[in-house]
Amino acid sequence: MVKVSIVVTKRSRKSIATSTPVILLLSLLLGLVASYTLIWTFSKLDPISFFSTFYQTLISYTGLLEPLLFLTILGTAISIAFYGSFWNVGAEGQYVFGMLGAIYLVMFSPVSEVFLNGDSAANGVAKLLAVISGGLLGLLWSLIPGALKAYTRVSEVPVMLLMNYIAYSISDYLTAGPWKGRYTYGYIRTDMIPESSRLTVISGLEVLRYEVVIATIAVFAIAYLLIEYTRLGLEIKVLGSNPVALKSSGRNEKKTIILVSAISGFIAGLAGALRLLGYDYRLLYNIGDGKTGFYGYTAILVAWLSFKDLRFVIPSAIIVSALSSFGYRMQMFLKELLPPGVSAFAFSQIFIGTTLVVYSLARITKEYSVKLVVRE
Amino acid sequence: MIELLDWLIPTLASAYVVYTLTAIGSTVIERSGILNLAIDGLFVLSSSLAYAYAIYLSILLQPGVLATALSLLLTAVTTALLYSIYTALNTVLPVSQGAVGLSFMFIGYGLGAVVGNLGRVLFSLFRVRIEYISVTQNSVVFTYLLMVLAAVLVYLVLYKLKLGVLIRAVGEDPRLVSQIGINVAYVRFLSGLLGGVLIGIGGALFTLWRVGGWSQGQGLSHGWLAYAVSIAGWRYPPVIALVSVFFSLAYVLLPYLQSVGLPIEISIATPYVVSIVAMVFVSITHRRSVALLDPKSLGKTFFREEQA
């Protein structure tokens, strides 16, 4: 009888074939093939339309720039958490809380008066405060699962996924209640934030905002320095790889968990604040119905693809931006070939899921070699 | 008051059955050491599958009990197969269970939308009416008895049968089980089948009984609510069957707190708050019996060096 078995052994040498860039590209390709097969099962979609539309998505770079910036910030936030084995799947909620923090400062706090006076220097400072207040609310929201993990050992993953729904509800409550706008033509939403509080559009590249570009670069650079060159960064890495060592070296494990959750939540909150001040200008009702673009969820994929190596956050963010825009582009141009009625985000979810599963499989080849052995 | 009870008792029964079965299914999977982060996606997928199967079978046969029962069965089988792939994949290869779980979650959401919409297209072409499940006041007691029976059965499987002992053993120490010559992947494959059947039925009943229809995004987050029930019940079927009563009551009643003055948006969030509080409460309680503790190898990558 022929016996087929899968043999997995530890790899002793590294090779180019299993380096991160190769694995990333391979996962993207195989992930696309797998997604295509899944969708093809339920439709008449031909491979040429599918792959040429993906190519179109890639070269229409202006459409990718906006998601790329937000996914880079959020991906950085989640990656830092992953270094410390804090599985931040709650960036979506922290992002919403960032929006709340920003709109509160701009419209409902004493600072709001600054924007009516028109002094541009004061405006600039107030905008900065609004972004920071968004970061702080994100931080507070992330601190809850962080503290729960540190002190009660409850797993942060289900807690944060449930907390994302609570964040949506709180935002909806504020939008329909205390913060409900007066000039909304009967819609449930807040008023627009004053013009003077909005971020600056880059002329010639209308999808971009100066402040968002600067913030993305700053966040990424600071995060990189923090992880690679500071003692806290080292502690976070040790927390992720060997928490026992952290404890026995006299460091406070709980404090590190809480710090990593705070930093991660702060950055995710910044992203929400930038989104509100630069693009949305107001809160909409039923925010959980896709009005966040689900960036907080898609950024989880960015963090996985660049697993514990911040240098790969940006290439991963490019891949994920392309995958998430791809769903919308397919919906726009290939509608009659697709299974009917399915939302663009559902396609994006399929791309994200298959790419992630292929990547998780491909990544094991970095450390292990997998062989099929046939024995008589 | 009587009117409220007329509404409450059947509604509660449907919620109770859905969350209990799904939570017990998740328990079987996690007792074998596989982290079940796929649950919400596969719950959404199975609730969509049930709708598509029910429409298709109602056209093929004719609307009625048989079509509904068969769609329930087919959903259970499909979900069981998906879960057995999930648990085996997580064992055969040294992958990150968290990443694979979340991938399955995303794929489940996406495919759920595709499958459910296919059902909807069939519906718009043929206009068949699905025979949804409804339970009368008189027979509602049986559904509770049935759940107790299910909990007892799964308890017996997990704690009295050899298969269950193996499932729990690979959840504690897969390396040791492997060393005595038992195929860990096969045991986990079986736990995926058993757990998947239960989660599949839970998801199917969500559509065919609790909601009585399908819309895109249906079932989202309910997998996580069931997951919270499983953890709050210490991943122990009899306790799950008990605490699930309180959870279902909370999930069914809390959204109606708006009638006593709580804003609707906040009352919608209360089931999530209850779930988190319960999980925290359970994790700080002191558990003496090993049967109530978390499986030791839950979520850990299993790697067995082949001996030359």
pLDDT over threshold 80, residue A1: no
Q: Does A44 touch chain B (CB under 8 A)?
A: no
pLDDT at A19: 83
Q: Which residue of A has its CA nearest to B117?
A: A341
The count of CB pairs under 8 A between chains A and B is 148
| Ramachandran class of A293: left when φ > 0, alpha when ψ lies in -120 to 50, beta otherwise | left
Assign B131 to helix, strand or coil.
coil
| Ramachandran class of A118: left when φ > 0, alpha when ψ lies in -120 to 50, beta otherwise | left
Domain boundaries, chain A: 3-375
The three-state DSSP-derived secondary structure of A304-340 is: HHCCCCHHHHHHHHHHHHHHHHHHHHHHHHCHHHCCC
Which residues from chain A sit within 8 angstroms of residue B221, using beta carbons?
161-162, 165
Dihedral over alpha carbons A288, A289, A293, A296 (to 10 degrees): 30
What amino acid is encoded at A356 in this protein? L
| Residue A375 CB neighbours (<10 A) | 8
Tokens representing B140?
């509602």
Tens of pLDDT, residues A44-56: 889 999 999 999 9
User: Are the CB atoms for B101 and B87 separated by under 8 Å?
Assistant: no
Tokens representing B209?
């009984």
Assign B75 to helix, strand or coil.
helix
Q: Does A361 touch chain B (CB under 8 A)?
A: yes
pLDDT more than 90, % of chain A: 60
pLDDT over threshold 60, residue A358: yes
Compute the mean pLDDT over every residue in chain B, rounded to the nearest whole number: 90
Q: CA neighbours within 13 Å on the CB side: how many for A6?
A: 14
Report angle CA B193, B196, B198 to the nearest 5 degrees: 115
User: Are the CB atoms for A26 and A361 separated by under 8 Å?
Assistant: no
Run of H or E residues at B190: helix B184-205
Domains identified in chain B and CATH numbers? 9-133+141-292 (1.10.3470)
Helix intervals (H) in chain A: 20-41, 47-59, 61-83, 91-103, 114-117, 120-152, 156-176, 210-229, 231-241, 243-248, 253-275, 295-305, 313-333, 344-363
**More confident position, B62 or B2:** B62
Tens of pLDDT, residues A251-296: 889 999 999 999 999 999 999 999 999 999 999 999 988 889 889 9
pLDDT over threshold 60, residue B306: no
- Over residues A219-238, mean pLDDT: 95
User: Are the CB atoms for B92 and A349 separated by under 8 Å?
Assistant: no
Identity of the residue in B93, B111, B228 whose CB atom sits nearest the CB atom of A158: B228
The 10 Å CB-count burial string (b at 16+, else e) for A252-278 is eeeebbbbbbbbbbbbbbbbbbbbbbb
- Over residues A108-116, mean pLDDT: 88
Mark yes or no for CB contact B110/A152 under 8 Å. no
pLDDT at A148: 96
**Main-chain phi, psi angles of A184, to 5 degrees:** -125, 10
Tens of pLDDT, residues B109-122: 999 999 999 999 99
pLDDT at B217: 87
Q: Supply the pTM of this predicted model.
A: 0.91
The 10 Å CB-count burial string (b at 16+, else e) for B97-122 is bbbbbbbbbbbbbbbbbbbbbbbbeb
pLDDT over threshold 50, residue A327: yes
Mark yes or no for CB contact A157/B111 under 8 Å. no
Tens of pLDDT, residues B183-192: 999 999 999 9
pLDDT over threshold 90, residue B197: yes
Measured in angstroms, the CA of A219 and the nearest CA of chain B are apart by 25
Which residues from chain B sit within 8 angstroms of residue A284, using beta carbons?
none
Tokens representing A169?
């509800």
Distance CA A275, CA A111 (A): 19
Measured in angstroms, the CA of A152 and the nearest CA of chain B are apart by 6
DSSP code at position A104: I
Tokens representing A54?
């993906």
Tens of pLDDT, residues A172-203: 999 999 999 988 888 899 999 999 999 999 98
Assign B281 to helix, strand or coil.
helix
Fold (topology level) of A3-375: ABC transporter involved in vitamin B12 uptake, BtuC (1.10.3470)
Beta bridge partners of A211: none
Distance CA B135, CA B130 (A): 15
| Ramachandran class of A290: left when φ > 0, alpha when ψ lies in -120 to 50, beta otherwise | left
- Over residues B154-170, mean pLDDT: 94
pLDDT at B1: 62
Measured in angstroms, the CA of A22 and the nearest CA of chain B are apart by 18
Residue A169 pLDDT grade (very low, low, confident, very high; cuts 50, 70, 90)? very high
**More confident position, A186 or B136:** A186
Beta bridge partners of A375: A3
**Main-chain phi, psi angles of A304, to 5 degrees:** -65, -45
pLDDT at B66: 93
Distance CA A174, CA B147 (A): 40
Tens of pLDDT, residues A20-79: 888 889 899 999 999 999 988 888 889 999 999 999 988 887 788 999 999 999 999 999
DSSP code at position A373: E
What amino acid is encoded at B195 in this protein? G
Beta bridge partners of A36: none
**More confident position, B243 or B304:** B243
DSSP code at position A205: E
Name B227's Cβ contacts closer than 8 Å, sequence gap at least 6. A158, B23, B26, B36, B39, B40
- Over residues B206-219, mean pLDDT: 92
pLDDT at B307: 44
User: Are the CB atoms for A271 and A47 separated by under 8 Å?
Assistant: no
Measured in angstroms, the CA of A210 and the nearest CA of chain B are apart by 33
pLDDT over threshold 70, residue B224: yes
Dihedral over alpha carbons A229, A92, A27, B44 (to 10 degrees): 150
Tens of pLDDT, residues B57-95: 999 998 888 999 999 999 999 999 999 999 999 999 989
Q: Which residue of A has its CA nearest to B270?
A: A166
Beta bridge partners of A201: A209
Distance CA B14, CA B308 (A): 54
Distance CA B96, CA A310 (A): 19
- Over residues B38-59, mean pLDDT: 96
Measured in angstroms, the CA of A348 and the nearest CA of chain B are apart by 8
Distance CA B233, CA B148 (A): 14
User: How, if at all, do strands A205-209 and A3-10 pair?
Assistant: unpaired
Q: Which residue of B has its CA nearest to A303?
A: B99
- Over residues B125-136, mean pLDDT: 86
Q: Which residue of A has its CA nearest to B89?
A: A361
Q: Does A349 touch chain B (CB under 8 A)?
A: yes
Task: Give the burial class of B235: count Cβ atoms within 10 A of its Cβ; 0-12 exposed, 13-18 middle, 19 or more buried.
Answer: buried
pLDDT over threshold 80, residue B3: no
Identity of the residue in B110, B114, B272 whose CB atom sits nearest the CB atom of A353: B110
Q: Which residue of A has its CA nearest to B39?
A: A158
Mark yes or no for CB contact B40/A346 under 8 Å. no
User: Are the CB atoms for B16 and B147 separated by under 8 Å?
Assistant: yes
Q: Does A312 touch chain B (CB under 8 A)?
A: no
Distance CA A11, CA A15 (A): 10
Distance CA A75, CA A68 (A): 10
pLDDT over threshold 70, residue B146: yes
Q: Which residue of A has its CA nearest to B216?
A: A342
Assign A98 to helix, strand or coil.
helix
Measured in angstroms, the CA of B148 and the nearest CA of chain A are apart by 26
Q: CA neighbours within 13 Å on the CB side: how many for B281?
A: 11
Q: Which residue of B has its CA nearest to A289?
A: B217
pLDDT at B308: 36
Compute the mean pLDDT over every residue in chain A, rounded to the nearest whole number: 91
| Ramachandran class of A314: left when φ > 0, alpha when ψ lies in -120 to 50, beta otherwise | alpha
Q: Which residue of A has its CA nearest to B38?
A: A353
- Please identify which residue in the block is written with the tokens 């494959």: B189
Rounded to an integer, what is the distance from CA B13 to the centroid of its chain? 16
Interface test with B, best of A155, A175, A286 (most B CBs within 10 A): A155
Q: Which long-range contacts (CB under 8 A, 24 or more apart) does B159-167 make?
A: B159/B291, B163/B187, B163/B190, B167/B28, B167/B31, B167/B32, B167/B191
Tens of pLDDT, residues B237-256: 999 999 999 899 888 887 77
Which residues from chain A sit within 8 angstroms of residue B108, using beta carbons?
353
Distance CA B224, CA B244 (A): 14
Mark yes or no for CB contact A176/B263 under 8 Å. yes
- Over residues A84-93, mean pLDDT: 95
Name B124's Cβ contacts closer than 8 Å, sequence gap at least 6. none
Identity of the residue in B95, B100, B272 whose CB atom sits nearest the CB atom of A165: B272
Q: Does A30 touch chain B (CB under 8 A)?
A: no
